Structure 1
Amino acid sequence: MQDVREWTSSLVRLVRRHRDPVVVQALRSTAAATVAYVIALRLSPEPAPLTAPLTALLVVQVTLFATLTTSIRRVNSVVAGVLVAIAFSLLVGLTWWSLALVILAALAVGHLVRLDEFVPEVAISAMLVLGVTSVGSTAWARIVETLIGAAVGLACNLLLAPPVWTEHASESIEGLARRVRKLMLHMGEELTGGTPVERAAARLHEARRLDHDIADVDAALRQAEDSLKLNPRVREGLLHRVVLRTGLDTLEICTVVLRVLARTFTDLTKEREPEPLFSPQTSALVQQLLGEIADAVVSFAVLVTTDVSVSAESAESRLAAELRQAGTTRDKLAQLLLEEVQRDVSNWQLHGAVLTEVNRILDEMDTEHRSQRLLEELDRHTRAQRERRSRWTRFGDRLGAPAGLRRNREDARERSL
């Protein structure tokens, strides 16, 4: 039985490893380069048509949207580099000074044709082609190989639908929420008794380090958004993108407010050291409130990463219940803090800041606030799509649409008015 469990866990790890973006990219790049080389062997007169697999490596991407949006610029960069190398191969061979001139000329051409982040690839292509090209009569073969590599790179994702990376992004979002929860629980536990300034400052630095985690989650989410665009296996790609993006935005705001809360605790510790930050009853209530908010943060992450189904409804109900409980505890804490301020008004600003920051986190995760934000984002995307379609329509009219079609459009506009 133990052997079966170990074999099953090994199989699960193997499947997950094959779904890793790095592994998928390596397999797709290898396959595309190999196929491009095999095709180029038949169509190119060169004995070693290495430009074809080189172009395929530069063109093929993890997602279909990234391939379509970057392939044209990548092809332009490769072709520009090939032309620069061919021009130099007609005049000189490969020497240290000719290599320097090739690099300089390739970078200048890349900036001239506005290739942006693909400018270095012009120089890379030129260097590689210069190393294998020294005869001007074979220039056309290099262009053919470049086109073969570009076509194979595009076909790799057009024929084989790329995976949807929403699962990886969802795991990243939930991981961020759990790190936020862990920090809030630690902050609450340290309220009982005297909290050293060094420990409070350490929690503040830990809250600031969450910015790096947000950047990693944002990168994973951008990859997931690209995988949803133009993917035939996805029906509601826009809704998935908006739900995940707005969810990450909310978590980012919560982490910012948490950082401010940690700063408030640090300042309060400096003012009251060596005494506790709050009275024992207030400290226990603050700890309870932070624990309830921490659980709500994780529930919110589960909600935004759950598909629209019964599970999503259950997650939303759980989040609403946790927010109501946190709101009740917040009201009790407000009364206790008011009593403490009435006894000692020296730190009333910091006590008020604690309540303000807690209210901001609860308000950001409110279900009604989330629904309103989703509707606004969906409406914004819909308007953007309509504007793009209208631009394409105007462009078609300028190219010269059939007269009957133009009349039908004008009649439809008049009827709508």
Structure 2
Amino acid sequence: MARVIDILVRWGRRRREPAVVQALRSTTAAVLSYVVALRLSSEPVPLTAPLTALLVVQVTLYSTLTTGIRRMNSVVAGVLIAIGFSALVGLSWWSLGLLILASLVVGHLVRVDEFVPEVAISAMLVLGVTQVADTAWDRILETLIGAAVGLLVNLVVAPPVWVGPAGAAITGLADRMSRLLTHLGEAPLGHTDVARAAERLHEARRLDNDIAHVDAALRQAEDSLRLNPRVKEAVLFRLVLRTGLDTLEICAVVLRVACRTTTDLAKAWADGPEPAAPDPGITAALRQVLDHTALAVESFAQLITAQVSANAEEAEARLAGELAVAGSSRDRFADLLLARIRRTPAQWQLYGALLAEIDRVLDELSVDKRTERLMEELDRHARTRRPRSLRGMLRPRTASPG
């Protein structure tokens, strides 16, 4: 009994995961479409209907609609090609090759995207039977049944809104960036082991894969917000998350450059003459600015993923506080670094580059920069969504002659 309860608890925790939701809804749609096709189609085993339902039913309503249309277009195009070939030539090796080639070309012309092979598959299945006309119309009917059932399942079983998983992905990315910033401040500047510095550089490069994962999760969230009646501010949610990811992506690029700079400093220290001993003040100041920058990155992620206004205000206040402390630490670090460069001017370019990279990260995370970027995106969206008819009404009319 305890084992059954444990399985149910784990299932309850996983029931909103994309793979679980997709499996349940696709299975339901496939079975229902097969049952309906058995009654309406003359085919003894109408597997085209469940196959269509499996391909049509996606995690979001928007992708279901777009996929269903492309799927139906591909099947209809293949069937029409097969009917035309059956009237002109029989089935042979050369006609089969010509049929496949024509189907693939037509698939690209009608823009069915990933369903281009389905055009050729439909044409071959129809051309390979004796009663071409009957099989052709049955295949079209089964395709319509599968697409209709798939769409009906998505309407009845409301697809989830994937803003939560996208927000979790953004938070995970911010956590990894925060750890990297903390690691950069663990060793004295210019006296880091080369292998350790190179490890941090590889860690920064791996952020590109993390960004790609977050981008995929965000695209899924954006699709789930489209045509979803349960979401009233879909555009705002989408732009908040998208602009937030853009900021983190810029910071990740700057962090990679900063890791490259610290690696070059470590190599210069290892290969060059013995430099001055590590400055405890510079080390402490750098660690402080990087630690507060790491906290600012976490606060920024909390700000863009906050769903309640109170949480958003708290995250914004925390972000502003961390940036203020990081800015003060940065000024102290810059003063100490300038004094160090005056005493030992070697590698001053790398020290200056590191300071500029810290400035860039702090600037990208600032509340004012965040607000400015979000307002620009909202304004751009409003301009692109403005009805053409309204723009035509606003144009000055020319006076009629005479």
Whether TM exceeds 0.5 here: the answer is: yes
Inter-partner Cα distance in structure 2 for 1:19 and 1:281: 50
Separation in 2 of the partners of 1:83 and 1:322?
A: 65
Distance 1:239 1:21 in 2: 23
Give 1:329 shift.
0.5
From 157, 165, 189, the counterpart of 2:162 = 165
- Alpha-carbon deviation of 1:124? 3.8
For 1:106, the aligned partner's letter is: S
- How far did 1:349 drift? 1.1
Mapped partners of 2:326, 2:27: distance in 1: 53
1:390 has 2:377 as partner = no
CA deviation digits over 1:302-328, x for unaligned, max 9?
Answer: 111111421111111111111111111
For structure 2, the 5+ residue unaligned runs are none
Match for 2:57 among 56, 60, 75?
Answer: 60
User: Quick one: structure 1 residues 18 and 275, their matched pair in 2 at CA, closer, same or farther if it must change by over 3 Å?
Assistant: farther
Correspondences of 1:235-384 after superposition (within 5 Å): 235-273=232-270, 278-384=278-384
Change (3 A) 1:194 1:345: closer
- CA distance in 1 between counterparts of 2:216 and 2:383 reads 26
Residue aligned with 2:372, SS: helix
Matched, 1:225 2:219: no
Q: Secondary structure at the match of 2:144?
A: helix
Number of paired residues? 392
Q: CA deviation at 1:159?
A: 3.0
Check whether the contact 2:247–2:365 (CA below 8 A) recurs between aligned residues.
yes
Q: Is the alpha carbon distance of 1:8 and 1:239 closer, same or farther for their aligned partners in structure 2, counting shifts above 3 Å?
A: farther
- Bigger mean CA offset, 193-202 vs 222-231: 193-202
Of 120, 131, 138, the match for 1:135: 131
Question: CA 1:309 to 1:259, structure 2 compared with 1: closer, same or farther past 3 Å?
Answer: same
Q: Give the distance between the partners of 1:103 and 1:392, measured in 2 at CA.
A: 47
Residue 48 and residue 252 in structure 1: after superposition, are their counterparts in 2 closer, same or farther (change >3 A)? same
Amino acid of the residue matched to residue 40 of structure 1? A
Amino acid at match of 1:361: V
Q: 1:258 to 1:75 in 2, by over 3 A?
A: same
TM-score normalised according to structure 1 size: 0.86
Deviation of the 1:98 alpha carbon: 6.5
Q: CA deviation at 1:367?
A: 0.7
Post-superposition offset of 1:15: 2.4
- Aligned partner of 1:69 in structure 2 is 66
Residues 13 and 126 (structure 1 numbering): CA distance in 2 closer, same or farther, change over 3 Å?
A: farther
Q: Deviations over 1:272-295 (max 9, x none)?
A: 226589522211211221111111
Match of 1:110 in 2: 107
Determine the structure 2 residue equivalent to 1:406.
none
Correspondence for 1:404? none
Percent of aligned pairs with the same amino acid:
61
CA distance in 1, matches of 2:61, 2:177: 33
Pair 1:39 & 2:60 matched: no
Q: Could you say which residue in structure 2 is the equivalent of 1:174? A: 171
Q: Which residue of 2 aligns with 1:185?
A: 182
Q: Give the counterpart letter for 1:375 in structure 2.
A: M
Q: Give the 3 Å change call, closer, same or farther, for CA 188–169 of structure 1 in structure 2.
A: same
Distance across 1 between alignment mates of 2:68 and 2:125: 19
Task: Determine the C-alpha separation between the residues in 1 that align with 2:191 and 2:185.
Answer: 13
Q: Work out the CA distance in 1 between the residues paired with 2:217 and 2:182.
A: 26
Q: Distance in 1 between matches of 2:288 and 2:109?
A: 62
Matched residue of 2:19: which SS?
helix
Residue of 150, 155, 171 corresponding to 2:152:
155
* SS of residue paired to 1:189: coil
Instruction: Kindly report the root-mean-square deviation, in angstroms, between the aligned alpha carbons of the 2 structures.
Output: 2.8
Pairs within 5 Å for 1:14-29: 14-29=11-26
1:397 maps to none
Q: 1 CA distance for matches of 2:153 and 2:263? A: 55
Which stretch of the first structure deviates more once superposed, 215-224 or 277-286? Answer: 277-286
Kept in 1: contact 2:78–2:120 (CA 8 A): yes
Give, in whole Å, the separation in 2 of the partners of 1:272 and 1:349.
Answer: 14
